[in-house]
Structure 1
Amino acid sequence: MKCSAPSVGPTGSRGRPREFDPDEALAAALRVFWSRGYEGASLAELTDAMGITKPSLYACFGNKEALFKKALDLYERDKLAYMGKALEAPTARGVAERLLSGALATHCGKSDPHGCLGVISTVACSTEADSIRADVIKRRASSEAAVIKRFEQAREEGDLPDAVCPTKLAGCLTTVLQGLSVKAQSGAEPEELQGSVDTFLAMWPGR
């Protein structure tokens, strides 16, 4: 699909609309949001990275909030695809290991900004962006609910001890995942973060 951006001639007259690829523009916006957070990303930075004008942004994507949510959809689909595969691991520990390994690869890679887009945006959001914070928290809760369900299955199958609470274990794992994101964004070395992952997994409950 192509979107049209109005072009203006040297005399101020409108020329033929210039087409642009909305998928490429959205990918560029994602990188800005990922680097700067929702509030830190200005419209000027976004339109410059996307190669379009503000009217074109509004016409194709809606306002800044709508653009961010579309970027977040793209982030979840492309960058967090490992989460769905992690839940298919044969053991609860395997689920945790895949989630942690996927997070390290995503948040500490060489080609993308460091840190997690959701964590970066919720930490930086003020009360003026409550709707963004609420949307990110809702998405996070949905992901954590899927992990809780998987851990409940693991306990029923005897993979986790009866005394382990799936909800608390999933919450602990989520806390570690968010902590990795924050430390990655602040410049922590991959080796340090891998050490945290190894230590956490070494304490994993088992029979």
Structure 2
Amino acid sequence: MPQRGRPRGFDADEALERAVEVFWRQGYEGASVSDLTAAMGINKPSLYAAYGGKEELFRKAVARYAEKDMAYARSAFAQPTAYEVVATLLRENVLAVTRPDRPAGCLSIQGGTACSSENAPVAGFLAASRLAGEGALADRFARAVAEGDLPAHADPVALARFVMIVSEGQAVHAAAGVSREDLRQAAEIALAGFAAASGARLPEQATGTV
């Protein structure tokens, strides 16, 4: 069992931010405890004392990533129409996965999609997180149907799955080196597809302008 010690002489929040970077670049399995402690500027006993262990640290890193790097999602969900929700999500996601000061792509995608069976709980945790986001988006679309923003025949679950597939694809392609401009172009095509498939009211229709 790893030796446990008291975390002293370091900023736990700053160290967690550095762990986010390591997991993002190397994935859960690719990031060793030594890699993490070196980047975080702490020793192993301090890591275990402050965060509980590698898996617990990873979960905290994902939570930090969601809070900080995906803050745009909260803004997107607050948009007044389903079309604007999706437009904000896809356009802002393009910016997020191509930030010059961050690794390309998305921590929740790169972090553990290729985990071995030994680390199945990590892969399951990430999958559950993504499904929770998809479920929240489906709920938002269901509200849009109830409010008359989307037509009664619109399928909130299918639409949410479509948007999540596109956004996750953006992250995968960004990590593979696809440019921001190419991702932006694809996002606009996907947005047009969402509007056509869902019957969503476009902004000018929602405001009554021509």
TM over 0.5: yes
Match of 1:168 among 155, 158, 167: 158
Contact 1:4 / 1:20 at 8 angstroms: preserved in 2? no
Q: 3-state DSSP class of the match of 2:112?
A: helix
**What is residue 87 of structure 2 aligned with on the other side?**
97
Match of 2:103 among 99, 103, 113: 113
Higher relative contact order (CA 8 A, sep 6+): 2
Match of 2:33 among 40, 43, 55: 43
Alignment of 1:9-48 (within 5 A): 19-48=9-38
Residues 4-43 of structure 1 show CA distances to partners (whole Å, capped at 9, x for unaligned) of 55xxxxxxxxxxxx51111111111110001111111111
**What is residue 122 of structure 2 aligned with on the other side?**
132
- Structure of higher CA gyration radius: 1
Please list every run of at least 4 consecutive aligned residues from structure 1 whose deviation after the TM superposition is greater than 2 angstroms: none
Contact 2:29 / 2:112 at 8 angstroms: preserved in 1? no
Give the total of aligned pairs.
Answer: 193
Alignment of 1:52-201 (within 5 A): 52-201=42-191
Shift of residue 206, structure 1, vs aligned partner: 2.2
Contact 2:104 / 2:171 at 8 angstroms: preserved in 1? yes
CA distance in 2, matches of 1:24, 1:34: 16
Contact 2:134 / 2:164 at 8 angstroms: preserved in 1? yes
Q: 3-state DSSP class of the match of 2:9?
A: strand
Shift of residue 173, structure 1, vs aligned partner: 0.4
- Percent identity, please: 40
Shift of residue 122, structure 1, vs aligned partner: 3.2
Contact 2:154 / 2:199 at 8 angstroms: preserved in 1? no
TM norm structure 2: 0.87
**What is residue 14 of structure 1 aligned with on the other side?**
none
TM norm structure 1: 0.89
CA distance in 1, matches of 2:93, 2:117: 28
Match of 1:206 among 179, 188, 199: 199
Shift of residue 115, structure 1, vs aligned partner: 0.8
Contact 1:125 / 1:133 at 8 angstroms: preserved in 2? yes
Shift of residue 162, structure 1, vs aligned partner: 2.2
Name structure 1 gaps, 5 residues minimum. Answer: 6-17
Q: Give the root-mean-square deviation of aligned CA atoms.
A: 1.5
Letter in 1 for 2:32: S
Residues 93-119 of structure 1 show CA distances to partners (whole Å, capped at 9, x for unaligned) of 100011112211211111111111111
Name structure 2 gaps, 5 residues minimum. Answer: 201-210
**What is residue 10 of structure 1 aligned with on the other side?**
none
